[in-house]
């Protein structure tokens, strides 16, 4: 018995080696994941595990019950012979990893093969193999394959079931007890150990894959963090050089370069001294691959200059895209093609997609900036020619009768126009500066309509340094003048309120004009409308900019009653004053 156990442990090394080779197949790694296998993958798993069971049969040892001799290698089995084998390992692992269906399928393949080999234990061993697949499949949903002691116990139990079936079904019966006494314990221990080692190998392969994936994810995130600030400016010589420097430091390539669709923008690493002579070859390859429209990923082996000592022997190329159009390439150079393995290709491909996404973000930010400038230009266009003409006419008439007032009005107009010109370059302004802009506008209106317009400022000075998008308040005040107070002959009143409430700033513009129809209030600010009195473009643009800056909760709130007036207000978050002081 002891001699047989030693021999089986020696043969177990063959099984373990085969198990390691089989883990190179992708579907083995898929079995260790929670994903459901497709029908074709299930059939492949049955076939492979079944074949593994057959190999386990042939690597076994032939035991002759009449002579008690042990044959190390023999293809055929005589009627008086049985096999001390490792067939159950493949079948049990199939059931543990794949469930009842795969365990049963592998058991049938290996079991039928064992039955066809013959010998007086053929029926009991074949049936036991099928039962082992179903038996181990029971433990699949319990994920028993995650515990090596459980795997050992399940595999050993499957082998014990086989010994019991040999005792019950094999004939002649008098041969069964000596057989089980000799091969029983060695097979239980060897197969239990083999099953645990098989699962351990698969777990190690899966763990290594997870470790590599974690490293790639960490590296990708680090590169993303470092390159984002540069690529926000778009793809040019300066940003390409900065990004190539980062990639060269983070990756194991001997050189890194980036191109657009016409030429090489940057090259960092070995080969700088040959870069000029190699450029014509590389540039032509870049143009050809991009213009073909078929560049998805390429590993080109001999793209280098004519110098024998040029180190640029192998290059991996991946496309940089915007809106599904290839706009350039990312290239990683290596000493030889042997360095370009699957991990390198996946990493380069992932980095190219990452950089492409960052370029898309840069494009979106540029588009947003252009939209913002267009909206401000649209608001500036609200300064209608007749407003300037009327103001200039008023100044002209005041020059003779009241030069000081004319001078004051001219200063107000100058300040108003200056503010309108400078806001296109500012992303935000203070409430104090915005109020000065409003005051310059109202000073003009007060000079023209001094006998019927009164303005109140109710301002909390602690709010003056809070920031808002530029050109927010003045269009609302102008709206009140043009639409609310337009037909009011006397007693026109506008109140501007800025108050701090808890961690919010409440801003309101209130007039006592003619008010608005409730149906009109629901439309204004949400989209551009067309009516005899106007389009509502100013309030619509203000709403959009407040939403982009502070969120939907900052949108304009309009309360109005016909004949009583209108209040337009919005709320913005206040800055943390303690943080500001620090």
Nearest-5° angle of CA 166, CA 168, CA 174? 75
Model confidence at 190: pLDDT above 70 = yes
What average pLDDT does the segment 413-442 reach?
A: 80
> Who has greater pLDDT, 281 or 95?
95
Report the pLDDT value the prediction gives residue 381, as an integer from 0 to 100: 52
Omega of the bond leading into 30 within 30 degrees of 0 (cis): no
Burial letters 358-394, b for 16+ CB under 10 A, else e: bbeebeeeeeeeeebeebbeebeebbeeebeeebeeb
CB crowding 499-528: b at 16 or more within 10 Å, else e? eeeeeebbbbbbbbbbbbeeeeeeebbeee
* 305 has a pLDDT exceeding 80: no
The pLDDT assigned to 34 comes to 53
User: In the block, which residue shows the tokens 């197949």?
Assistant: 25
Q: What is the pLDDT of residues 55-74, one digit of tens each?
A: 988 888 887 766 666 666 55
Could you tell me which residue, 144 or 380, shows the higher pLDDT?
A: 144
pLDDT digits (tens, 9 = 90+) for 565-581: 999 999 999 876 544 44
What is d(CA 248, CA 349) in angstroms, rounded to the nearest whole number?
16
**Predicted confidence (pLDDT) per residue in 533-559, tens digit:** 556 677 888 888 888 788 888 889 999
How far apart, in whole angstroms, are the C-alpha atoms of residue 102 and residue 93? Answer: 10
Two structure tokens written together for 481: 């003048």
The reported pLDDT for the residue numbered 382 is 52
Distances (CA, A) of 53 to 309, 498, 548: 53, 82, 64
Over residues 267-279, the pLDDT tens digits come to: 888 765 444 444 4
- pLDDT tens-digit readout, 443-491: 888 877 777 889 999 999 999 999 998 888 988 998 888 888 887 878 8
Overall average pLDDT of the 325-338 stretch: 82
76-85, 304-313, 382-391, 476-485: range with lowest mean pLDDT: 304-313
Q: What domains does the chain contain, in order, with CATH numbers? A: 2-209 (1.10.1760), 232-361 (3.30.450.40), 381-581 (3.30.565.10)
Q: What is the pLDDT of residues 101-114, one digit of tens each?
A: 999 999 999 999 99
3-state SS assignment for residue 218 = helix
Report the predicted TM-score, pTM, of the whole model to 2 decimal places. 0.47
Summarised one tens digit per residue, pLDDT across range 22-61 is 777 666 666 555 567 778 888 888 998 999 899 988 888 8
Tokens describing residue 156: 């050993």
Confidence of residue 383 (pLDDT cuts 50, 70, 90): low
- Phi/psi region, residue 485 (left: phi>0; alpha: psi -120 to 50; beta: rest), is alpha
């Amino acid at each position: 018995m002891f001699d047989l156990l030693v021999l089986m442990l020696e043969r177990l090394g063959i099984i373990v080696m085969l198990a390691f080779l089989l883990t190179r197949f992708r579907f083995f790694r898929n079995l260790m994941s929670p994903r459901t296998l497709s029908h074709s993958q299930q059939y492949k798993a049955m076939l492979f595990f079944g074949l593994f069971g057959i190999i386990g049969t042939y690597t076994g040892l032939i035991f002759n019950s009449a002579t008690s001799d042990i044959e190390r290698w023999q293809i055929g089995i005589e009627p008086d012979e049985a096999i001390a084998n490792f067939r159950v390992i493949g079948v049990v692992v199939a059931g543990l990893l794949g469930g009842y269906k795969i365990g049963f399928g592998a058991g049938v393949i290996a079991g039928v093969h064992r039955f066809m080999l013959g010998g007086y234990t053929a029926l009991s061993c074949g049936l036991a193999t099928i039962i082992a697949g179903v038996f181990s499949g029971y433990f699949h949903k319990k994920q028993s394959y995650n515990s090596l002691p459980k795997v050992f116990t399940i595999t050993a139990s499957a082998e014990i079931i086989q010994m019991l079936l040999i005792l019950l079904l094999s004939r002649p019966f008098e041969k069964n007890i000596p057989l089980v006494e000799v091969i029983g314990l060695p097979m239980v221990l060897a197969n239990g150990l083999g099953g645990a080692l098989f699962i351990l190998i698969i777990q190690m392969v899966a763990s290594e894959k997870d470790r590599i994936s974690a490293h790639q994810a960490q590296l990708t995130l680090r590169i993303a963090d470092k390159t984002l600030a540069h690529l926000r400016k778009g793809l040019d010589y300066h940003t390409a050089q900065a990004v190539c420097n980062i990639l060269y430091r983070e990756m194991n390539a001997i050189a890194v370069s980036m191109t657009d669709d016409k030429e090489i923008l940057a090259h960092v690493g070995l080969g700088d001294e040959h870069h000029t002579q190699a450029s014509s070859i590389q540039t032509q390859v870049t143009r050809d691959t991009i213009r073909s429209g078929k560049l998805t990923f390429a590993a080109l082996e001999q793209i280098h200059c004519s110098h024998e000592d040029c180190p640029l022997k192998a290059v991996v190329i991946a496309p940089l895209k915007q809106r599904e159009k290839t706009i350039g390439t990312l290239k990683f150079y290596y000493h030889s093609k042997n360095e370009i393995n699957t991990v390198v290709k996946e990493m380069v491909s992932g980095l190219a997609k990452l950089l492409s996404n960052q370029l898309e973000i840069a494009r979106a930010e540029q588009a947003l900036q252009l939209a913002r400038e267009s909206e401000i230009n649209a608001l500036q266009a609200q300064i209608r020619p007749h407003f300037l003409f009327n103001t200039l006419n008023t100044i002209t008439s005041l020059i003779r009768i009241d030069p000081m007032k004319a001078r004051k009005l001219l200063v107000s107009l100058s300040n108003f126009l200056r503010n309108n010109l400078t806001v296109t370059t500012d992303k935000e302004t203070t409430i104090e500066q915005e109020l000065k802009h409003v005051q310059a506008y109202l000073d003009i209106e007060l000079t023209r309509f001094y006998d019927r317009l009164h303005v109140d400022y109710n301002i909390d000075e602690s709010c003056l340094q809070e920031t808002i998008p530029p050109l927010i308040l003045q269009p609302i005040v102008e709206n009140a003048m043009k639409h609310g107070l337009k037909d009011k002959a006397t007693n026109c009143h506008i109140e501007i309120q800025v108050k701090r409430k808890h961690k919010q700033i409440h801003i309101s513009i209130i007039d006592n004009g003619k008010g608005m129809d409730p149906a009109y209030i629901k439309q204004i600010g949400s989209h551009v409308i067309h009516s005899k009195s106007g389009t509502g473009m100013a309030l619509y643009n203000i709403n959009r900019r407040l939403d982009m800056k502070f969120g939907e909760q900052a949108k304009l709130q309009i309360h109005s009653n016909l004949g009583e007036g209108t209040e337009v207000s919005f709320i913005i978050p206040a800055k943390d004053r303690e943080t500001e002081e620090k």
